[in-house]
Amino acid sequence: MHSSRLLVLASLVLPVVLTAQSPPAPATNVLFIYRESVKAGKVPAHNAHETAWARALTAAKSPSHYIAMTSLTGPNEVWYFSAYPTWAAYQKNNEDVAANSVATAIGDRFVGGEADLLSDMRSMTLRPRPELGYGPPADLPHMRFVSVTRISVRPGHTGEFEDARKTVKAAHETAHLSDSYSIWEASAGTAGATFYLFVARKSLAELDEAATIHGAEYLTALGGEEGQKKLAAMQASAVNTQQTDHFSFTPSQSLPPQEWVTGDPEFWKPKASAMKKKTP
């Protein structure tokens, strides 16, 4: 399953905005996420191992791409993202990776070294729910952080949850708020109805602005005190658990597509000295 990280990245979390001349990216209907839970005390070793792995693939000029991000809060985790326009594209990339002897050999060389570094590894796929999200696409190559909210919905309450999110979106639109987010629904790899809300950020300082952005105009757009109470009741009825954690993009463990490197080479292009030091 670990080889799934080698699958080709089409887009990530939100549609990518690069330049005015860039062609639109294929619509992402299958977002694949591979999650690694790192053992306590093993974070430095895991970072070195994954950096060496990514650099080996880079040196081999692997045509495949993935983006890594590391948790800043919550459990010690690294998430690896790949995205596809269709499940057929996902299957084809699986087959292409299996037929790629160079990538397979590199994977075989590194995969055994993770046994002592990880406490858990799992994968899941998400499908987009654009009718629940809000705001313009993010310029992902220039982003540095992602806030992820995992929402577990009570059985039989998915419709109620969707109504609550549509209420939130409508209030954002009425108040013309400056923030943006995307919502995805788990289609495999999780128990029950699970949704993920992603917010890409240039800086964690944006978190300081959340209360100001969602101020008086937003609360008025929700319908004042009565509207807020109604929304709170819908959310309390529909949501079982909800947790937000913050992640940072991790270029050293990523194989970004060339468009990302071109968009922000200082951040995404591996440093020659690092490659020489980390590559076995």
CA 25 to chain centre: 16
CATH code for the domain of 31: 3.30.70.100
For every residue of 106-155, DSSP letters joined together read: HHHHHHGGGTTTEEEEEEEEEEE-TTT-BSPPP-GGG--EEEEEEEEEPT
Structure tokens at 50: 């994954």
Q: Helix (H, G, I), strand (E, B), or coil: what is residue 67?
A: strand
Four-residue CA torsion sign, 162, 168, 174, 177: negative
Task: Give the count of domains, the chain.
Answer: 2
- Residue 270: the pLDDT is 67
Same-domain pairing of 143 and 51: no
CA distance 209 to 193: 30
Same-domain pairing of 83 and 28: yes
- Residue 17: the pLDDT is 35
Same-domain pairing of 7 and 115: yes
CB 164 within 8 A of CB 231: yes
CA distance 179 to 181: 7
- Residue 4: the pLDDT is 47
Structure tokens at 184: 């995805």
pLDDT tens sequence across 43-96: 999 999 999 999 998 888 877 789 999 999 999 999 999 989 999 998 988 888
CA distance 67 to 233: 37
Same-domain pairing of 257 and 186: no
**Amino acid, res. 152:** S
Same-domain pairing of 112 and 142: no
- Residue 104: the pLDDT is 87
Same-domain pairing of 133 and 120: no
Same-domain pairing of 136 and 239: yes
Low-confidence ranges of the chain (pLDDT < 70): 1-26, 270-280
- Residue 93: the pLDDT is 84
Same-domain pairing of 6 and 119: yes
pLDDT tens sequence across 219-245: 999 999 999 999 999 999 999 999 999
Q: What percent of the chain has pLDDT over 90?
A: 71
Task: Using alpha carbons, list the distances in angstroms from residue 31 to 7, 16, 27, 95, 277.
Answer: 11, 14, 11, 17, 32
- Residue 27: the pLDDT is 81
Of residues 227, 125, 130, 141, the one with CA closest to residue 181:
130
Same-domain pairing of 102 and 33: yes
Structure tokens at 4: 């799934």
Same-domain pairing of 121 and 148: no
- Residue 273: the pLDDT is 43
- Residue 25: the pLDDT is 54
Of residues 8, 237, 3, the one with CA closest to residue 108:
3
CA distance 161 to 182: 15
Same-domain pairing of 148 and 214: yes
Q: Which domain holds residue 8?
A: 2-126+250-278
The dihedrals phi and psi of 239, each to the nearest 5 degrees, come to: -95, 130
Same-domain pairing of 259 and 183: no
